Amino acid sequence: MINTIIGKFSAFILFYSLTTIVFSAQEIHRSDQHDFKLAIVASGLEHPWGFVFLPSGDVLVTERAGRLRLIKNGKLEPEPIKGLPNNIYVAGQGGLLDVALHPDFDKNRFIYLSYAGRGDGGAGTEVARGRLNGNALENLETIFVVEPKTGGTAHYGSRLIFAADKSLFVTTGDRYRYMDDAQDPNNHIGSIIRINDDGTVPSNNPFVGQASIKPEIYSYGHRNVQGITVRPSDLSIWSHEHGPRGGDEVNKLQPGANYGWPKITYGIDYSGAIISDQTHAPGMEQPIVYWDPSIAPSGMTFYTGDRFPNWKGDLFIGSLVLTHLRRLEMNEDNVVVQEVMLDGMARIRDVRNGPDGYLYILTDDTDGKLLKLEPIE
C-alpha cells in the first residue's frame, strides 16, 4: 500500500468549488468534474444520522433523538417507525445512529439498527435487527453489544455495512475517555467488528480461537469510526475515523490489523498536549490519507452511479466541522486529487449512492435535510 499524506505540507492539489450556503433547486454548484444542483428530498429531520433506500425507492432515516423515519413517495411520514429498542441512550453523541438493510431484504425484510445502548456500567454501541412490516419493526432482537459498557456520551462509531459475503461490519469508538483500551483486543472498544447476519461470529474472523481476544474483532486501534464502505472494484472494505486535533484518517481495512490509536497518531489532544510523539510503529498500519487540521469526517461511499460519469470510483466523504462534501479521486489505493464541494453549506453527516444513480447527502441539523445531487444537463 502506498500511503498518501495530506496535511499542511501536502504535495497534492486541493480543489475548492465555488458554492454558497443558501441552496435551491435552481442554484448551480460548480465542481471540478461536474456542475450540479441540489434537490431537497425531505426536510424537518432532527439531527439525522444515517439513511438507506428501500427497494420501493422509499427511504429510512435515523434521527439521533431515537426515531426511525420513513420518506414515502417523496414525503416524510409524520409518524416514526414503531418497535425500536427500548434502551437507546440519547445523550451527547449517543442515540439512534445507523441503519442498514439485509442483502436479502426482499425475502426476509430485515432492518439493522446501530445505537448507543444503556446497560450495566454505562452505555455502548449495540446492533439490533427486526422485520419491517408496514410502520413497525417486528421480532426485534439485539445481535451485538459492545463489551464493556462505559461511562461518557461520546465516540460510539456505529456505522454499518454488509460486505459482499453478507457478513456485517460494525464500527465502534474508543468512548473518548478509554483511548488506551483501543490497543486491547480483549474488549470491543476502538475496534471494527465483523459478524454474521444473526450476530454469530464468522469462522474465518482473524482472531477466532485466540485466547484473550474478542472473536468478533476484525481490526483494532481505531479512535471513532463514522464511515465505512465497500469499494466495488475489488470488494475491499474502507473506513475513516476522527482523529483528535488533527489526524483524521482513511484506511483500507486488513483482517487482524492494528491501526495504531493512540500509540501512533498525526494529531494532538484538544488541549494541545501530546498524545503520542510517534506517527509510525512496527506492526501498526499507516492511513491511506490523513488530514491536519481535522475535517471531522462522517459517512462515506464510492460513487457507483452513471449520472456523474467522471466521478465513478471516486470516494465521497461528508465533513462536519468544515461543513462540506469532499471528493477523493483515486488511482488504485492512492489519493491523487481532493476537491471540496458545497463548502460552508452544512454539517454533512452521511453520503450514499441512490438506486437511481444520483448521489445523496444528509445534513446534521435541527432541521436536517436529505438532499440529492443532480447533474446540470
Q: For cell 449512492, what's the residue?
A: 353
Of 280, 282, 287, 283, nearest to 243 by C-alpha is: 287
Distances from the Cα of 254 to the Cαs of 50, 168, 182, in angstroms? 25, 15, 16
47 is known as an active-site residue: no
Which residue among 47, 102, 155, 324 is the active-site one? 155
Q: What angle do CA 205, 207, 210 make, to 5 degrees?
A: 140
- List of residues 6+ apart from 108 with CB closer than 8 A: 102, 131
Contact indicator for 221, 263 with CB cutoff of 8 Å: yes
Contact indicator for 95, 66 with CB cutoff of 8 Å: yes
Q: What phi and psi, each to the nearest 5 degrees, are found at residue 98?
A: -95, 170
- List of residues 6+ apart from 165 with CB closer than 8 A: none
Give the whole-angstrom CA distance, residue 335 versus residue 328: 6
Give the whole-angstrom CA distance, residue 10 versus residue 3: 12
What would the 3-class secondary structure string for 272-312 be?
Answer: CCCCCCCCCCCCECCCCEEECCCCCEEEEEECCCCCCHHHC
Helix (H, G, I), strand (E, B) or coil at 98: strand
Catalytic residues: 155
